[in-house]
Amino acid sequence: MTFRCRAALLLSALVASTAAVAQGLTLHAYIDGRMVAAPDTPSWTQGGMGKTRYGEGDNGAQFGGAALAVAWQATPSLLVFADTQYQTTDHPTLDVIEAYLRYRPVSTTPWRATVKLGAFVPPVSLENDAIGWTSPWTLTPSAINSWIGEELRAKGVQGQLEWRGGWQTLEFTGALYKGNDPTGTLLADRGWSLSDLTYGLGSTLRVPDAYARVFGDPDHTRYNPFQEIDGRWGWYANLAWRSAAVGEFTLMRYDNRGDPAAHTLYEGSADVFAWHTYFWSAGARIDTGPVTWIAQGMDGGTEIDPVTGLHLETRFCSAFVLAGWNRGAWRPTLRLDHYSTGKLRNGIDTHQGETGNAITAALNWRPRNWLRITGEVLHLDGSRSALRALGLTTRQVDTQTQLSVRLIY
């Protein structure tokens, strides 16, 4: 065989393999621009105690973010997936939200098994299932899913077993993971928020300045929520039932098994603890004609032992109900949230928790597949008694209005 023939064969093989890779490659992306009328309260991303994404001084045009999701079906059984997001609200970051390998052998029986290896969001949300772990219903997710996007990520292995009947599917999911020890920090220091800032691997979150000063840390204290501190494996288990005729119901137990006495220094200054965080979550999604109903509730706690003889625990719970109407290119959505926390010191209630409610009204218009225009009004009303000790007002009432233009690929 001549050199020219060998070169032609090599080139043909390269073209064929490249075409095969491209054929199995799927890309989805968006870029988002907004006009914002922000609350006067400084947002937690600015070091304040505000609960919305935008705060004092954020009125006017804002960059809503951009995301790119890449899926490569390498073989009929093997999927490679990565989801990245770029945002500038807190500080400019390009983060990997999820990156994993998924092995799902082709099944010819009602049973199907799946194994996922990498970094992924635990399957808690029935609300956020769009590009960049965003919601197709509103700009701002519920308090529950806002917190998941901020502080929950699993780095490990997840297994799933499905049974597929004629009209229903039963699914059990379990995972072992590491690298999520500080989760719970924001619920203890800031409380709940409603924000569409989703953080990824390598991100840092900001603790409110008032709390940083109380604990002797410098202002603008940040921490990495996805780091490993105590060497323990965490776990979660999720049970889901689905039916095209009825809807979907889920029940999850999450426990990061954090050692509440373990801690480390982040950037040489701030103590970051391995908060022991655990919760139950239950959710349902039901379609009634053109209306989709989503409801979810969460109840749990997070705790640390900062010094010998001192045990601090924050109990938390939240729930929401969402109704979304599918009317062609239009999708109006209404959501009601309730959230609360309670603080205990050595098992004794300190009466320093928070309680609040939120209402979100959004109107989505998608005249083209590549264009989504959303107007949203978010109103929160609550109180946080712990703020009194910091010299701050305990009542928190914020209203945030946004108009988003999102280009989608």
Full-model pTM: 0.91
pLDDT for the residue numbered 22: 58
pLDDT for the residue numbered 223: 87
pLDDT for the residue numbered 267: 62
The neighbouring-strand residues paired with 327 are 330
The neighbouring-strand residues paired with 68 are 29, 84
Helices within 131-221 (DSSP H only) = 143-151, 185-189, 209-214
* pLDDT one-digit tens code per residue, 34-81: 999 999 999 998 988 899 999 999 999 999 999 999 999 999 999 999
Give the C-alpha separation, 151 to 159, whole Å: 22
* pLDDT one-digit tens code per residue, 98-144: 999 999 999 889 999 999 999 999 999 999 999 999 999 999 999 99
pLDDT for the residue numbered 260: 94
Task: Indicate the helix (H) or strand (E) that contains 185.
Answer: helix 185-189
Mean pLDDT by 10 residues, the chain (409 residues): 38 36 84 96 90 94 96 97 93 92 94 97 95 95 97 96 93 96 92 94 85 65 89 97 94 97 74 93 96 98 94 97 94 98 94 94 97 98 86 89 98
Domains of the chain: 109-408 (2.40.160)
- CA gyration radius for the chain? 23
Cβ–Cβ < 8 Å for 124, 148: yes
**What would the DSSP string read from start to end of 266-319?**
ETTTEEEE--EEEEEEEEEEEEETTEEEEEEEEEEEEEEEEETTEEEEEEEEEE
pLDDT for the residue numbered 345: 95
pLDDT for the residue numbered 12: 35
Cβ–Cβ < 8 Å for 151, 184: yes
pLDDT for the residue numbered 351: 87
Give the C-alpha separation, 157 to 174, whole Å: 9
Q: Which of helix, strand or coil describes residue 402?
A: strand
